Chains A and B, each alone.
Chain A
Amino acid sequence: MGDWRNKLFSVSGLAMLAVLFIALVTLSNVLLRGQRLDLTENRLYTISEGTRNVLRKIDEPINVYFFYSETEARAAPSLRPYAVRVREMLEEFSQHAGDKLRLRVIDPLPFSEEEDEASQFGLQALPTASGASIYMGLAATNSVGDEQIIPFFDPSKEATLEYDLAKLIYTLANPKKPVVGLMSSLPMGGDFNPQTRQPSPPWVIDEQIDSLFEMRDLSPTVTAIDEEIDVLMLVHPKGLSDETLYGIDQFILRGGKALVFVDPHAEIDQPAQDPNNPAAAFAASRSSSLERLFGAWGIAVPAAEVLGDDVLALQVSTRPGMPPARHLALLGLTTDELNQDDVVTSGMTSVNLGLAGYISAREDAPVELLPLMQTTDQAGTIPVDRVRFLADPGTLRDAFSISGEKYTIAARVSGTVPSAFADGAPGDGDTEGHLAASDGPINVVVVADVDLLGDQFWARVQSFFGQRIITAWAGNGDFVINALDNLTGSSDLIGIRSRATYRRPFDRVEELERRADERFRAKEQELQDQLTVTEDKLAELQSGRTDDNVLIMTDEQSAEIQRFLDERVRVRKELRRVRRDLDKDIERLGTMVKVINIGLVPAVIVIFAVAAAVARRRKAGAA
């Protein structure tokens, strides 16, 4: 009697247990979200605080479509790891944004509706050998119909993946075009040229900013910077009044972002000609500074010196007909001098500067300088007076000494700073609303060169049937746009630094490959040399001939050719052997690795087990 009851209880107990189990697992899946321990070396799965803030501040839902041709991508296995990485980052994003970010992963099969959709969004397809196309891009839309895409996720841009995605989301979440306030003492927006009596076109950089941002020109006499301005771009500030400086100071302390270009000597700053006193223009100062504000932040851009760099010096042609000469103070920065860890300069390969200054910080400066552009350690300073009336750049080398220091030319300036106007507003001393110190860290990028903005340093403008065709030959424009883009984004975006890459190759195998390649090339070179020698010899034999039948080869020549042909066969054979050997080295390492991993430990265990069994039997036998 009790038996079956027991059984019944047990069976129903088991069933209840199962229901409880499923319920608990489901519940824990929902409730325990977000508690995780990221053990990856580069915290690949931990998105930064900045991104999280961006995601938290989304008001209206954003739809994200990740198009990845998973099926087709089987033909391109190298793309797979990165696709997985992108998808996981997107999933991480959507987890943090909750229902504000709707992620859909789509596999656009050939000739499917999804594929049409992908191409309608303007995503790029990578053709495969078999004629199919692989999509690995992203399209996102917000509730007011704005659209942003990443046409193709380029694995080489992995370092900025998080930033690029966060930036895209931010742009959709904040659809208004950012406002850039430009205060410049230079005629960036175009000028009237008195000599040609025609308006000169705007600078390329000005046009580019205008196309991407809402640009407002600020008079150098304004006393307050409008709240609506997201980024203040100050170019070559000269002789600003205290009232204007106060306006800028308060704008920055309030959290306004600024991109400042100053220069100890701006070549591009051409003073107006005074017909009555032509010498005045020649002697006029071409330097600019924001000394008062910089002083409060604890930084300085020395006004009497420009930088020279022996490694970075650019070639310039000084006079027609003369060979180009290296100009120590015209610098061509490369990847190594552009901070690859910062999103503004990451991935940039060249920026050209002219007569640039440098930024230094006091020991006790309240701000931190994060260099974006630096010189090499083969740099030194040159007094401004020496470049002012420079006829021959070659003479710069005289008296130039390398200090061995790396100078910072452009930097992010951040930190909590005091006002440069400790006593409140200048003049009447109105203290209402005066900020004595910044609320939080300020966000400013300072560049100690103005010339880099000039077209002649980075862009070629051509007229083509009335259209202006612009070809950039250096990254100066990208730098400015990146900096503005980054500063207008939000301080959350600024905080996202680029990440180390995901790919981890077998260094040892690659090293073997490299070494073998070198050997192969050396052999190839040998063959080439041999060929040259033979050709020379043939030519020599030919020119030394005195007979009439110059078109017919002598026996000596034929022998030489035959010798070369034999030699070539020998070297070719050698080359094939080298190639085989190189593959052999790699294969041998692979075989060793496999043998050790598949066979070694099992073999040891078998030996151990046999030994243990024998020992046991002996013991049993002895007993």
Chain B
Amino acid sequence: MNQVRTIFRRELASYFSTPVAYVFIVIFLVLTGAFTFQIGNLYERGQADLVPFFTFHPWLYLFLVPALSMRLWAEERKTGTIELLMTLPVTLWQAVLGKFLAAWCFTGIALALTFPVWLTVNYLGNPDNGVIVAAYFGSFLLAGGFLAIGACLSAVTRNQVIAFIITVTVCFLFLLSGYDLVLNAVQGWLPQPLVDAVASLSFLTHYSSIVKGVIDLRDLVYFAMVIAFFLVANAVVLDMKKAS
């Protein structure tokens, strides 16, 4: 566990030692703000809740999280620092977990910096703060899911741009799998239980149920499993690459 903590610290510190972190956070904040107020019309609709704010999170994450995760392994592989990392007295697991947690924590910081919007609705009206707490939690879980996917796919290639594109695509599929568009496409050639399974894979359905203010055990388990699966896959991929 100590090694995980060391890697976590080193990674997190490395975010802030370059302008990348600040640029990322500023873009994230400006975009959430603009989407919430300009497109979501949070002010004009006159309701003291953060629905327009959280509605856009999946779509923002879809592009921002892969941008963050693409360099996680691809860069290490390209620059060769991965060999260095592997010679350190840490196991593959600890490295995977430490890097992921650092990135997740970073998105958490970015998310926490949206606090003015919470203060705003409390100033303007009397919102249901329980719902907002749940929604922030749901958004954080969602970011974790995206990140785990991104981390895994970043290990597949040396090229960050390719990592980015694949990650966006896969995340997009995970977002949409609950939609009729996707379901109709698979309905024809998959048996019903599998169609249901595809439907239950959607990030959106699980996320939107948490955002309502209800934390369902199934949603928790879902996000936990997504993260766990992609982290395991991440380790397996790295192992494969190392072997080759």
Contacts and interface: CB of A to CB of B under 8 A. Distances in A.
A99 to B, nearest CB: 16
B37 interface: yes
Interface string A514-543: 000000000000000000000000000000
B30 A504 contact: no
A504 B130 CA distance: 14
A508 B120 contact: no
A8 to B, nearest CB: 10
> Which among B114, B201, B213 has the greatest number of chain A C-beta atoms within 10 A?
B213
Contacts of A45: 212-214
Given A506-B48, A590-B44, A601-B29, A40 B217 contact: no
Contacts of B232: 17
A28 B46 CA distance: 38
A349 to B, nearest CB: 26
Interface string B27-71: 001100110111000011111110000000000000000000000
A21 B237 CA distance: 17
A506 B124 contact: yes
Contact of A88 (B43, B212, B243): B212
A41 B215 contact: no
Given A21-B225, A26-B200, A602-B29, A6 B243 contact: yes
A593 B213 contact: no
Interface in A486-515: 503-510
B83 interface: no
Interface string A18-54: 1001111110110011011111111011000000000
Interface stretch (A237-245, A435-443, A452-460, A605-613): A605-613
Interface in A230-268: none
B196 interface: yes
A23 B198 CA distance: 10
A510 B124 CA distance: 9
Given A35-B216, A39-B213, A504-B126, A29 B36 contact: no
A13 interface: yes
Interface residues of A, number: 55
Contacts of A590: 43-44
B22 A609 contact: yes
A240 B128 CA distance: 54
A13 B232 CA distance: 10
A34 to B, nearest CB: 8
Given A505-B47, A508-B124, A598 B33 contact: yes
B22 A606 contact: yes
Contacts of A507: 48, 124-126
A600 interface: yes
B124 A509 contact: yes
B113 A605 contact: yes
B213 A7 contact: no
A597 interface: yes
Given A22-B201, A39-B134, A505-B46, A598 B113 contact: no
A349 B131 CA distance: 33
A328 B135 CA distance: 55
Nearest to B19: A609
Given A25-B200, A596-B116, A10 B240 contact: yes
Interface string B115-142: 0110010011111111101100000000
A259 to B, nearest CB: 37
B213 A38 contact: yes
B120 A597 contact: yes
Given A506-B125, A597-B116, A28 B221 contact: yes
Contact of A38 (B44, B214, B236, B243): B214
Nearest to A37: B215
A14 interface: yes
A29 B200 contact: yes
A383 interface: no
Contact of A601 (B116, B126, B212): B116
A598 B30 contact: yes
A93 B215 CA distance: 18
A336 B223 CA distance: 48
A398 interface: no
A545 B126 CA distance: 64
Contacts of A613: 19
A312 to B, nearest CB: 32
B180 interface: no
Interface string B72-103: 00000000000000000000000000000000
Contacts of A597: 33, 36-37, 116-117, 120
Given A21-B225, A36-B216, A606 B120 contact: no
A594 B243 contact: no
A110 interface: no
A33 B218 contact: yes
A606 B21 CA distance: 11
Interface in A311-347: none
B52 to A, nearest CB: 11
A37 B33 contact: no
Nearest to A26: B197
B25 interface: yes
A39 B37 contact: no
B236 A14 contact: yes
A230 B200 CA distance: 46
A505 B128 CA distance: 11
A3 interface: yes
A35 B214 CA distance: 10
A605 B130 contact: no
Closest 4 CB pairs of A and B: A598-B33, A35-B217, A39-B130, A609-B22
25 contacts: A6-B240, A6-B243, A7-B240, A10-B236, A22-B197, A25-B197, A25-B225, A36-B215, A37-B214, A77-B45, A504-B127, A505-B46, A506-B48, A508-B123, A590-B43, A590-B44, A593-B37, A593-B43, A593-B120, A594-B37, A596-B120, A597-B117, A602-B25, A602-B33, A605-B29
